[in-house]
Chains A and B, each alone.
Chain A
Amino acid sequence: MAEKRITIRTTRFDPEKDKAPRLQSYDIPFSDESMVVLDALNHIKAHVDGSLSYRWSCRMGICGSCGMMVNGVPKLTCNAFMRDYWPRSITVEPLQNFPIVRDLVIDMEDFMHKLKSIKPWIIRNQEYPLGAGEHRQTMDQIDEFRQFSECINCMLCYAACPVYGLNNEFLGPAATALARRYNLDSRDQGLKDRLPVLANAEGVWECSFVGECSVVCPKGVDPAKAIQQTKLDTTTRFVLPYGNREG
């Protein structure tokens, strides 16, 4: 039985040698139906071309490191099964809408900045004294924000978002979902602190609800929902100053 093979095309970019990124083809064995695109990249690096650079870690869809464009779609390469593409070739490119540092590695500093800007920590008007014990929370209270806490910071949503692609100042899906996770947390009292960033000209108002962010999210966070609900809550808060506010 002839061994199955598959063509992997990946972006190559050496900032010290190349003017612009280019695609390089590799022909590798497709020996196991459980192989994922990350396996292909690891095979290339180990056996064919050790100079290929890319990020990865857990290889099981929880660390968020291996996000790349696979045939034009933002995916975790550890979650993209080669059997779904074979016998067609697989084109692996760096995550869209981010500057390319080298090969498949992108500059994520803007993303990190956006996450930090919405103050992703519990903000209290006054901290409990240690002797008062822990904050108590019911399962229902946790369910309020649970979905938005599932984000693994993989940035697939930013790659999918055309608004972010057209305007890098846009706050973006993951940051807004994370802000909502804290705003909905019963222990948090920091909504006012996050509002200036959420509701400014580059915040939620820039979102035109394309919805692709939620389509590509590997964890079902539904950042599009977080953004739309933030728009509505912010508006309600403005229109009804003393009523209908969330906790």
Chain B
Amino acid sequence: MNHDSAKGTKPAISHLIWWFLFANGGGLAALVLPVHILVQGVLGPLGVVHVVDRKYDTWISILGNPIVKLYLLALISLAFFHFAHRLRYFLVDLGVPAARTLPAQVIFYGGAVAVTGVTIWVLLTTAPI
């Protein structure tokens, strides 16, 4: 193996950034996603409690709040950078070394950027401020 490769001689800032986004996204998702799934995905549809997205009026009203929009953008965007990073390395673990390459990074993190873009568009066009 070639120990003199230039790879071994400088910090990889992009990897640092992906990891930083991964850590923050993972933390935020860890803290808030379970309650969203429990309330909006299970208890609400079962009718156990009244949940804000069960009716159009209340849902559109809360979605119009700019703080709510910022929260949802932060959650979805950061979570998807977390998922992109984790899934990329999941593929590496499954024996797909191509997932380590630059094109793979573009696809996965580009995907997270795309989801961020779609989220911004949805939040701006739904219950516009």
Contact = CB atoms under 8 A, between A and B. Distances in A.
Given A162-B93, A208-B89, A199 B16 contact: yes
A195 to B, nearest CB: 6
Contacts of A197: 8-9
B19 A231 contact: yes
B100 interface: yes
Contacts, number: 58
Interface in A189-247: 195-203, 205, 208, 231-232, 234-235, 238-239
A235 B97 contact: no
B104 to A, nearest CB: 13
A113 interface: yes
A166 B16 contact: no
A113 B3 contact: yes
B7 A205 contact: no
- Interface band, chain A: 20 to 34
B20 interface: yes
Given A166-B93, A168-B1, A208-B93, A200 B20 contact: no
Interface residues of B, number: 21
A200 B15 CA distance: 8
Nearest to A231: B19
A156 B8 CA distance: 24
B16 A205 contact: yes
Interface string A135-166: 00000000000000000000000000011001
- Shortest Cβ-Cβ A-B pairs, 10 listed: A199-B11, A205-B15, A201-B12, A208-B89, A235-B20, A200-B12, A196-B10, A196-B9, A205-B19, A113-B3
Interface of B: 1, 3, 7-13, 15-16, 18-20, 23, 89, 92-93, 95, 97, 100
